[in-house]
A = this chain, B = another copy of it.
Amino acid sequence: MSDGTTGWRPLRLWHCCSYQTLQKRLPVLQWLPRYSLHCLKLDVIAGFTIGLTVVPQGLAYADVAGLPDQYGLYSSFMGCFVYCLMGTSKDVTLGPTAIMSLLVSFYTFGDPAFAVLMTFLSGCIQLAMGLLCLGFLLDFISYPVIKGFTLAASVTIGFSQIKNLLGLHNIPQQFFLQVYQTFRRIGETRAGDATLGVLSIAALLVLKRMKSHIPRVHRGMPLWLRLCSLIVWVTATARNALLVIAAGLIAYSFQVMGSQPFILTGKTTEGLPPFRPPPFSKASVNGTVPFVRMVQDMGAGVGIIPFMGLLESIAIAKAFGITNILGSFVSSYPVTGSFGRTAVNAETGVCTPAGGLITGALVLLSLAYLTPLFFYIPKAALAAVIICAVAPMFDTKVFRTLWKVKKLDLVPFFATFLLCFWEVQYGILAGVIVSGILLLYPVARPQIKVYDHEDLVVKPLNGLSFPATEYIRDRVYEVALAVSPPRSVVLDCDHVSSIDYTVLAGLEDLQREFERKGVSLTFSDLQDPVLRVLLAAEFTGPHQFHNQEEARG
């Protein structure tokens, strides 16, 4: 085993062109040679299950993103194919997610041209982050910030569906206006939609609950019990698709009978999306909007969306980047890994990323043949699908945990949570800044120990870097001048492993001040790199560098 100090990972240039490297770049080569029939069976089941989840979710999330419904499906298949080739984890599924849809709605103004261009740009940025190893940037988004953002997103998304659940029209997009208008016009609730919506949520919850209570199937069980378990499992796992189909059938029956109590999805563009480059400019009534203007309009979103898409892990940056770049050619909006569907995938016992092929095919088939049927899907049913998908994100246990673990972490958490309701980028920025301040405070105000041991000894307990310069200088000066006549000071640098130019300049200042007062400032226990810097800077004078014994005696 390696024994030593390893701050850097060595560059492994000699690995550059081997088959192993190719396998690393294209993980499909790792599992395909060992693929078995058993795997195929499991992957088909899992792929089919995910497909039955992603189709209704895609239709629903498109509404969150403020885009026409078919865009949810356009966004759902490219990730399956790309991840099949490049994916490293068998469970992860890429596609439209609630959070990404919310972000897209903020930054692309319900305009597919902006959304598709955003997909392309996000892909490029993610790919660049992967290739340039910029993953460390993501490390500065702490969990409290992520939790605060997720919690705010779940509230925003959940609430945005209340209007569809109740059948209210013309509710504004902005969260606060939405809350205000929804409550003001709650009297306009349509009985049909509200009934269907509430029943749908109830059905989804019951099915989800049933799924977690299915008894473990084993060979000793009677056949009918195993069959029942299987039926319950299938129903519960495909609950989103079944609900949407059932609601659609009900709506269709009403339509046939000549009345329609529900607001329906309505006409959806039929067929597969065209394959074409993303729109780098856009025709509008006032002439063409050029590329630069489109990017300016999307503003902070161009940074936020690719960034949030990678929050789970930078390891997937390249796969996600390529998915988005290719996706932008088939009118996808930005996609990322879906926690919910990934969990379903894992539960269903997927064996390799090949399951994605089935899912992708199912989405393409839906687009090709089912779009006319989407007309009858009631919006309230889709709203129920979304609300049940984001409900687990509303995880309030995090308050309790933060309170117990580190109360200060509640500050970035609440800063993010509250500001995200105003604008997402401010929320995240505020959270990152607050976490940064908490991180830097001990760097700027290091702990100092003061001993009296013949001379006064001042000992910084951690490192010494530039933001601490003024503070250390003031403290040493204060300690030395606290008595009259002023006393000499020994600065114990035992814990100081490096110093920079600012610290050096501060120490020079201090030494000059000490000379003026006729007392001395000496250094003890200097580590080699620090001593070398002091000598290089011609920071000299008699008796400056002692080891502590000398300095004291």
Q: Does A447 contact B (CB under 8 A)?
A: yes
Q: Known contacts A404-B537, A501-B406, A501-B409; decide if A5 and B461 are in contact (CB<8 Å).
A: yes
Q: Which of A7, A450, A466, A537 has the most CB of B within 10 A?
A: A466
User: In the complex, which range does the number of interface residues on chain A fall in?
Assistant: 35 or more
Q: Which of A136, A451, A465 has the most CB of B within 10 A?
A: A136
A356 to B389, CA, bound (A): 71
Q: Please tell me if the beta carbons of A467 and B537 are within 8 angstroms of each other in the complex.
A: no
Return the chain B residue nearest A478 by Cβ: B9
Find chain B residues with CB under 8 A from A313 CB: 470
Q: Does A142 contact B (CB under 8 A)?
A: yes
Q: Please tell me if the beta carbons of A501 and B4 are within 8 angstroms of each other in the complex.
A: no
Task: Say which residue of B4, B8, B502 sits within 8 Å of A144 (CB atoms).
Answer: B502
- Minimum CB–CB distance from A1 to chain B (whole Å) comes to 4
- Minimum CB–CB distance from A91 to chain B (whole Å) comes to 13
**Contacting residues of chain A (83-106) with chain B, CB-CB under 8 angstroms:** none
The interface-forming segment of A224-232, A248-256, A274-282, A438-446 is A438-446
Q: Does A513 contact B (CB under 8 A)?
A: no
- Minimum CB–CB distance from A411 to chain B (whole Å) comes to 11
Q: Please tell me if the beta carbons of B468 and A501 are within 8 angstroms of each other in the complex.
A: no
Task: Say which residue of B3, B482, B500 sits within 8 Å of A405 (CB atoms).
Answer: B500
Interface flags for A427-451 (1: CB within 8 Å of B; 0: not) read: 0000000010011101111111111
Query: Would you list 10 pairs from A and B whose C-beta atoms are within 8 A, ordered by A residue?
Result: A1-B450, A5-B449, A138-B470, A139-B466, A401-B501, A402-B501, A405-B501, A438-B500, A439-B465, A439-B467
Chain A residues with CB under 8 Å of chain B are 1-8, 135-136, 138-140, 142-144, 313-314, 401-402, 404-406, 408-409, 435, 438-440, 442-452, 456, 461-463, 465-471, 475, 479, 482-483, 498-502, 504-505, 533, 536-537
